[in-house]
Amino acid sequence: MNPLAFDTHLFRAVNDGFRSRILDSFFSAITNIGTGEFLIFVALLLLLNRKSFGMSGVILLAGMTLSFYTVGALKHAIARPRPFMALPDVHLLTRASDYSCPSGHTTFAFMAAFIIASYYKKGAVVPLAAYGIASLIGYSRIYLGAHYPIDVLCGIVLGSAIGYLLVQVTKKAVKGA
């Protein structure tokens, strides 16, 4: 099976799989945590706690900007149609426009999870929760019919890379100051 056929098969397994009103409502709600509006709210909360987490709020705002433009450029360069545009009988439970790859919600979620996790000690609950929520957001994009699994995987890699890059640049800048 070629990779795109496998991707479509996985999409169908999630999108056509076990469905319920409760799951529809849950994944419709969880996907909103991956939006820019929600992450601006989180960044502002982090900025209010300047002493401990203010820098993570600044980095999160920078990450949202970088993610927004990078995702937009990649979506237009790749120009992959969304599943509901290419496949019949997709259970579409969200609004989605433009192209499919990479998943912007997933990119935002994993970028934010990486940045937030970098400011907590290893083993703390917050990093695990951040990555758990980011994973649910990625899954929700498939469940809701907006993205293929490869789109979500690309969002995970891209978001993690942007988070890593910004944390490393910030650490070097702070050391050099």
For residue 177, pLDDT over 70 is answered with no
> Residue 6 CB: number of other CB atoms within 10 A?
12
CB 72 within 8 A of CB 102: no
Give all domains of the chain, ordered by start, each with its CATH number: 3-176 (1.10.606.20)
pLDDT the model gives residue 93? 92
Q: Which of 142, 154, 139, 138 is nearest to 101 (CA)?
A: 154
pTM of the model: 0.91
CA 58 to chain centre: 18
Over range 1-30, report the average pLDDT. Answer: 91
Please give the pLDDT value at position 100: 94
Q: Which two tokens stand for residue 59?
A: 């980095």
DSSP code of 9? H
Q: What is the mean pLDDT of residues 19-41?
A: 88
CB 167 within 8 A of CB 59: yes
Provide the 8-state DSSP code for 32: G
Query: Which two three-digit tokens encode residue 140?
Result: 């929700």
